Structure 1
Amino acid sequence: MLYLKVGTLTGLRPCEWPGAELRRSTRDGFAWMLVVANAKATNRRAQRTLYFAELDLQTADDILAWIRIARSSRYQRLLNTVGRLLWKVTRELWPDRTEWPTLYTTRHLAVAAWKAHFLCRGQADAERLDALATIAALMGHGTDATASQHYARANAGRRVVVPAADPEEVARVRQVIDLHWFKKLIECTEPGPEGGAQSLSATPTP
């Protein structure tokens, strides 16, 4: 499904697609840039830019196709249809679960992949803070508390193309996270001897 493919790559909220623009990059070292008007456009966060070193033509066409759909008059109706299908299919597949995928799950999967890419054990404090700020900038958040609200284990992120954030947007992210606490969180959520998480499960914030 087109929505699932482009959503897990870009991490956009469903409501952000109508205002998104995919362009050839103006930044050296990158082929494409996806400019997004932030849904939560608070102080100094009117938009964010995701830079891709490369995208195959099919993926670029898929993003452009979904942007066209998002700008059409039928977009909200289509989202409602996709949401209902997800509701029906996921409950048939996993009837015993207490939580099921939603339209926002694509965003959550994208963030898990970004955390798998940017965060790792053994990072110096400065490296970790930069990684957290980068993830927050890619999400359109104003603080680095993103990872404290939801930490997806590093191995939870699939191997996907990971965008780069705008350095100026990264610099504007406010540091609020307690690194000592965050390191403890990583230790608690890393796979145990049987390959599963030792503890802690949370639901991502939008």
Structure 2
Amino acid sequence: MNKHRTKTDSTILDYQSRVATLSKRCGLEANDENYFKKLVEQLLIEKEQISTSTWRKKKAALVWYLEKNNIQDLADSLLAITSEGTLKKPHRTSACKKKHLTKREEDTIRQELESLHDAGDFWGLQLLPITELILTTGLRPIEMKAAKLYINQQELNSEIQDHLEHYSGNYPTLKIRNAKNTNGRSFGEFRYVDLSEVSQRNILAIRLALLHVNKARTTENDSVSFEDYYEVLRKAFSRLVNRLFSDKHKKISLYTYRHQCIANLKSAKTPLSHIAAIVGHGNDLTASEHYGKGRFGRGGAGLVKANPIDVGKVKLLFDKKVNKNLQPTQN
């Protein structure tokens, strides 16, 4: 009887992704005689740095992979290892940050920023369009500095040769340099986000946000690097959030808006491969494992769409990783 017959396709993909990550970290090829043992050792090394829930998921994935390759003795040994020693309460900084915005939180912050904007407050003028930019497009805040808006095909064609090889969506479109590409966690240097169904109000917000970011000035009107500008911007937003929600255990950050964008896309039943293409992930499982849940989303009209060419790159990269790291070595 096949033990794996009851596993759904999504579960198997999840297991493959987790084992592929372990394989990359252990630094051995699948044909090495110590490969399977090293996978287990790598998981045990990580045990003290991960939560009980994550341990159970990674353990289940590795047990499945070992059994799939007929390494039953090692699989049985791993099954016998309990969760004792895992982090009961993760202490990583990310664990203290919110991964979704309630409707009340989103509206409260927007209303406060609108009031500050109308009053001419320096950071209110900038944070209002910047939060809308991240919430709409899901870009990483650090990616704002190299993002560029193209209203029509002529604008894109005037700057990018053979643009049809890179973008096949509608307009306007936002070109974003993938921040995680250098370490292999994305599918290419750039990605494009289709804004054709985004409201004109949000298009204007995106345009204003990019103007502020490109100027990168302080309250003294001094020109600074983007990194220095973003650090001050982040602190200004943190002060505002602390003032509005002083009782919150988990803090809302600018990155929370990226999480909420992904939750909104999930809520609208956007395929994971399309979400990966929109937000610059290297495979279509990252959003499902680490980002906002669909139940917290407010999907509907006006959401961004993926560039079909980028979707193809996501699928190609994921298939390549799986084929490289998960080739069975025993019958």
Q: What TM-score, normalized by structure 1, do the two folds share? A: 0.69
Aligned match for 2:246, one of 65, 86, 95: 95
Q: Where in structure 2 are the equivalents of 1:39-188 lying within 5 Å?
A: 39-42=179-182, 44-74=187-217, 75-118=226-269, 131-159=271-299, 161-173=302-314, 174=318
How far residue 90 of structure 1 moved from its aligned partner, in angstroms, is: 2.5
SS of corresponding position for 2:191: strand
Q: Is the CA contact 2:198–2:304 (under 8 Å) kept in the aligned structure 1?
A: no
SS of corresponding position for 1:9: helix
SS of corresponding position for 2:181: coil
When residues 162 and 54 of structure 1 are mapped into structure 2, their CA distance, relative to the original with a 3 A threshold, is: closer
Q: Where in structure 2 are the equivalents of 1:10-49 lying within 5 Å?
A: 10-26=137-153, 30-42=170-182, 44-49=187-192
Distance in 1 between residues matched to 2:250 and 2:194, nearest whole Å? 32
For the aligned residue pairs, the C-alpha RMSD in angstroms reads: 2.6
Q: Which residue of 1 aligns with 2:130?
A: 3
Single out whichever of 85-94 and 98-107 deviates more from structure 2.
85-94
Distance in 2 between residues matched to 1:29 and 1:169, nearest whole Å? 10
SS of corresponding position for 2:192: strand
Q: Is the CA contact 1:31–1:55 (under 8 Å) kept in the aligned structure 2?
A: no
2:309 is aligned with what amino acid?
A: E
Q: Is the CA contact 2:144–2:213 (under 8 Å) kept in the aligned structure 1?
A: yes
Q: Which residue of 1 aligns with 2:77?
A: none
Q: Which residue of 2 aligns with 1:127?
A: none
Q: Is the CA contact 1:30–1:54 (under 8 Å) kept in the aligned structure 2?
A: no
Q: Is the CA contact 2:191–2:280 (under 8 Å) kept in the aligned structure 1?
A: yes
Q: Is the CA contact 1:22–1:64 (under 8 Å) kept in the aligned structure 2?
A: yes
- Structure having the larger proportion of residues in strand: 1
Q: Is the CA contact 1:86–1:101 (under 8 Å) kept in the aligned structure 2?
A: no
Point out 4+ residue stretches in structure 1 off by more than 6 angstroms. none
When residues 101 and 167 of structure 1 are mapped into structure 2, their CA distance, relative to the original with a 3 A threshold, is: same
When residues 155 and 97 of structure 1 are mapped into structure 2, their CA distance, relative to the original with a 3 A threshold, is: same
- Aligned residue pair count: 166
Q: What TM-score, normalized by structure 2, do the two folds share? A: 0.45
SS of corresponding position for 2:149: strand
Q: Is the CA contact 1:6–1:63 (under 8 Å) kept in the aligned structure 2?
A: yes
The answer for unaligned runs of 5 or more in structure 2 is 1-127, 154-166, 218-225, 323-331
Q: Computing the radius of gyration over CA atoms, which structure comes out larger, 1 or 2?
A: 2
Distance in 2 between residues matched to 1:151 and 1:39, nearest whole Å? 17
When residues 172 and 60 of structure 1 are mapped into structure 2, their CA distance, relative to the original with a 3 A threshold, is: same
Q: Which residue of 1 aligns with 2:73?
A: none
Q: Is the CA contact 1:133–1:143 (under 8 Å) kept in the aligned structure 2?
A: yes
When residues 145 and 55 of structure 1 are mapped into structure 2, their CA distance, relative to the original with a 3 A threshold, is: closer
